[in-house]
């Protein structure tokens, strides 16, 4: 069995590698079995701070994915990363991921302040709560209100994921489908997975703002686990 490199060394790359090797290394990590996307957080002086990986669920264990990444980085660059510097998020492209790791929407409110109105969304996961906010001034019309609901939900989800991923609302609209009003939203994610776009929907049951928040949460829950 291959021994892992000593992890007590520096994470600082050589000048030659720093000049042109980081983007190549990122591509090689992305090409590893089971990896859907990868990004490096690096500083010109301090070197690599973190490797963020989105991995297909069930291909490898998280521990194996971390070890494989550490080995690849060391072989390609001589950089010795501690295991805590490799963050793996599991993802499924085949529908909903069951079991634990599903945040719940518990609060959605609109508040008025001196600076204007804003939407607050609170999500909970295994006893942990996270809040997200979005300006609601654009919410003077129905579509603007839904956009604010989506934005606040995405900010709360980023908090739950410790900002390992960044979400951005791309489109939100209300459609009539089979006699029911449905909110459909499209969300982009960085680092990108596949097309980089997630799609979610929710039936309107009274409040379109709440339906928009649930549509955003649906888009994320179809792809990512949070545990």
For position 45, what pLDDT does the model report?
64
Instruction: Give yes or no for a contact between 121 and 156, defined as CB atoms under 8 angstroms apart.
Output: yes
Confidence tier at 215 by pLDDT (50, 70, 90):
very high
Q: Does domain 104-221 have CATH number 3.30.160.270?
A: yes
What is the total residue count of the chain? 227
* Residue spans per domain, the chain: 15-91, 104-221
Tell whether the model's pLDDT for residue 14 goes beyond 70: no
Compute the distance between CA of residue 193 and CA of residue 189 in angstroms, rounded to an integer: 7
pLDDT tier at 165, thresholds 50, 70, 90:
confident
Asked if 148 and 120 count as a contact pair (C-beta separation under 8 A), the reply is no
Average confidence score pLDDT of the chain: 78
CA distances from 68 to 81, 174, 226 (A): 12, 44, 22
CA distance 98 to 102: 8
Termini Cα distance of the chain: 30
Q: What is the pLDDT, as a whole number, of residue 97? A: 36
In degrees rounded to 5, what are phi and psi of residue 4? -75, 150
Nearest to 208 by CA among 176, 178, 186: 176
- Does domain 15-91 fall into CATH 3.30.300.30? yes
User: Of 159, 137, 157, nearest to 148 (Cα)?
Assistant: 137
At residue 197 the predicted structure's pLDDT band, cuts being 50, 70 and 90, is confident
Reading the block at residue 190, the tokens are 């960085």
**pLDDT tens for each residue of 64-123:** 889 999 998 888 877 888 988 898 877 654 433 333 567 888 889 988 877 788 899 999
Q: What is the pLDDT of residue 15?
A: 55
CB atoms within 10 A of CB 99: 8
d(C-alpha 155, C-alpha 147), whole Å: 12
pLDDT band (50, 70, 90) for residue 134: very high
- For 46-63, the pLDDT digits (tens) are 678 888 887 877 788 888
């Amino acid at each position: 069995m291959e021994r892992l490199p000593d992890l007590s060394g520096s994470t600082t790359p050589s000048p030659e590698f720093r000049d042109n090797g980081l983007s190549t290394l990122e591509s090689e990590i992305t090409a590893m079995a089971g990896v859907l996307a990868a990004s490096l957080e690096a500083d010109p002086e301090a070197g690599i701070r973190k490797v963020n990986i989105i991995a297909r669920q069930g291909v490898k264990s998280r521990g194996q994915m971390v070890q494989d990444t550490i080995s690849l980085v060391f072989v390609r660059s001589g950089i010795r990363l501690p295991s805590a510097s490799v963050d793996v998020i599991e993802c499924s492209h085949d529908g909903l991921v069951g079991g634990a790791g599903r945040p719940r929407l518990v609060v959605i409110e609109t508040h008025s302040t001196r600076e204007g109105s804003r939407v607050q969304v609170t999500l909970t996961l295994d006893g942990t709560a996270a809040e997200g906010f979005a300006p609601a001034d654009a919410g003077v019309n129905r579509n603007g209100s839904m956009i604010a609901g989506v934005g606040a939900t995405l900010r709360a989800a980023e908090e739950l994921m410790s900002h390992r991923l960044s979400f951005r609302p791309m489109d939100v609209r209300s459609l009539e489908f089979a006699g029911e009003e449905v909110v459909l939203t499209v969300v982009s994610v960085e680092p990108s997975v596949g097309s980089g776009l997630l799609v979610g929907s929710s039936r309107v049951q009274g409040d379109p703002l709440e339906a928009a928040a649930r549509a955003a949460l649906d888009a994320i829950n179809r792809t990512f686990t949070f545990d």
